[in-house]
Structures are given as structure tokens and as C-alpha cells.
A = this chain, B = another copy of it.
Amino acid sequence: MRYAYLGPEGTFTEAAVAALTRSRAGEVQLVPCASIGASLAAVRDGAADRAVVPIESSVEGIVTATVDDLASGADVLLQAETRLPIEFALLAREGTALADVKTVGGHPQAEGQCRRWLAGSLPGREWVPCPSNAEAARRVGEGSLDAALASASTAARYGLTVLVPDVHDRSNAMTRFVEVARPGSLPAPTGADRTSLVAFLAQDHAGALMEILTEFAVRGVNLTTIQSRPTGDGLGSYFFFIDCEGHIDDGRVGEAMMGLRRVCGAVRFLGSYPRSDGGRTQVRPGTSDPEFAEAAAWLARLRYAR
């Protein structure tokens, strides 16, 4: 199994691949890519079997590059998720003092997650956004940057030392990563699943968001994430990225998705897969699968007993 991910070696995403493939590490072949888009393209065009990409962080929210790509390219299906704590370190070349650091690099998300620390501890520094934290570390190694915000585990790979360990604005920051495949592979329900989808409005109108929420609420489906993204067609034109509890095979999730399909301009199903946060699906009375089945049988009896 070839796994595409945001490289180079040492990124948080590589750690996510390891977490997602722990039980079958021997079968995994890593395919580092230059960007999230390149990782997803590798799966879509068959250069890889799976891609692992970050989808949400507790500091920056949904990862827009991932969500926009999932919403617009060829269909794919999420297979699994994992969540990792975000632990940055300030890496530099041997002998560098904090006072020597004039330029610091890292992924833009790293800046977002360490903004206060940077302002407090390195007030005069220039921030240099890089495609990944590991790439920033590589640049420190080659001398074009003074320091990088990256995983401490990256230091050895690029011949650096940890100048400051445990850099962050908030402890307990987490990033959620998902494993992506081409269509045709839908994980079985486990009772603790998450379903992801994208909904495009039929036309913008006051109340469209409420309509979408109601389609889920009336069938007792809890949302865990809902976030708007601009479609690019003008200020105020949005689509919605939605995560809900449950599996597409669940009666209540299926009926909610059909409702969404009818009231929205378009709906893209991104997958149903086991959730990694230990939560189980909340099932309100009247919305379990046996209750859906009983009601369907009752309706059929009424309709056809004529």
C-alpha cells in the first residue's frame, strides 16, 4: 500500500500515517508529496493507494486546502481518521542562541499556533512561511533560515538541535488527519462512526443554513463540525463542510442525506469511517435503526393493503 502524504520526512503528517497504519506497518510504502493538493492528486491518479491529509486543527479550524480540494476534485472516500497532539520545538543549528535568531520558518499553521509565543519570545524576528515545517527545518540545515518551528523529532534528520522545546500558545492543541482512498471502499459501520460531506446551496437565501441544520436535527443526527467556505462566486456565496455522527448505512443518516440532496444544489458524500475520539453515536429515542425499519414496514402495510 502506497501512502501519499505531505513530506518531506519528519512532518506531522508522516506521524499520522504511522498512527493510522500501526498494525500493518510492514505493508506501508511512503510517498512524500510537496503539498496537500499533490497528496490527493496522487490518490486520484493512481500514483498512490491512500493519502493522509490534515483536515481540522483545534487552533486554526478546518484545513481549507484539504476541504476545498475534497469538495472540488474527483470523488474520493475517507477511510479512517486519527488525531495527534501538536508539539512544536524551535530548531536551530548547533551553537545558535535565541538572540541570534532573525528569521524563523514553518508552515503557516505553525505560525497560527505559536503566534503569541513568537511575539513574546522573538519579538523582532521575521517570519518566513514554508510549505511544511520539515521543509523549514531543511532550510535551517542548509543555512538559509536561522530557526524553524517543527517537530522535535525532525532535528536529528537535518542536523539541528532543539533550541526551545514545547513551543505553543495553548497546550492540548490537536490536529485531526484523515486517510483518503479512491471510491469503492466504504468502511463497515462500527457504532462509533463519523460521516463527512459537502453541501452546496441551491441558491443563497436567508434561512438556507437553518434548513440544512433542520434536515439533520429532525432525524436526530448530531453535527460535530459545520463550516462554511466561499465558493469563489462572490462575497456571501458559500458551501458547507459537515461532519456528523453515524454511518451512511444508519437509517437516520441516510434519510438526512436524502433530505439534504433534495434541498441543496448539490451534495458530495466524503465517507463514513470510525471516529478516533472515543465518542459513540448518540441515538435519540425514535431514531434507531429498528425504529426506522418498523416505521417503513408500517407504511408499506398501509400503502399496499388496498
Contact = CB atoms under 8 A, between A and B. Distances in A.
Given A248-B303, A302-B248, A261 B184 contact: no
A257 to B, nearest CB: 6
Interface in A87-139: 108, 112, 115, 119, 127-131
- Give how many copies assemble into the complex: 4
B176 A56 contact: no
A225 B236 contact: yes
Contacts of A277: 235
Nearest to A254: B299
A3 to B, nearest CB: 21
Contacts of A61: 64, 228-230, 238
A213 B215 contact: no
24 contacts: A37-B119, A58-B233, A58-B237, A60-B230, A61-B64, A61-B238, A176-B235, A183-B305, A186-B302, A206-B282, A210-B214, A213-B213, A214-B214, A215-B218, A218-B259, A219-B259, A226-B228, A249-B303, A258-B298, A259-B295, A261-B294, A261-B298, A262-B286, A269-B302
Contacts of A224: 236
Interface of A: 37, 56-61, 64, 83, 108, 112, 115, 119, 127-131, 169-170, 172-174, 176, 183-186, 202, 206-207, 209-210, 213-215, 217-219, 222-230, 232-238, 248-249, 254-255, 257-259, 261-263, 269, 277, 282, 285-287, 291-292, 294-296, 298-299, 302-303, 305-306
A119 to B, nearest CB: 8
B258 A295 contact: yes
Nearest to A41: B119
A297 to B, nearest CB: 10
Contacts of A303: 186, 248-249, 254
A64 B113 CA distance: 12
Given A237-B58, A286-B262, A287-B262, A170 B232 contact: yes
Given A184-B306, A261-B298, 18 more contacts: A57-B235, A58-B235, A61-B64, A61-B228, A61-B229, A129-B130, A169-B232, A172-B234, A173-B232, A214-B214, A218-B218, A225-B236, A248-B299, A248-B303, A258-B292, A258-B295, A262-B287, A262-B292
A56 B248 contact: no
Contacts of A176: 235
A238 to B, nearest CB: 8
A255 B213 CA distance: 18
A127 B258 CA distance: 41
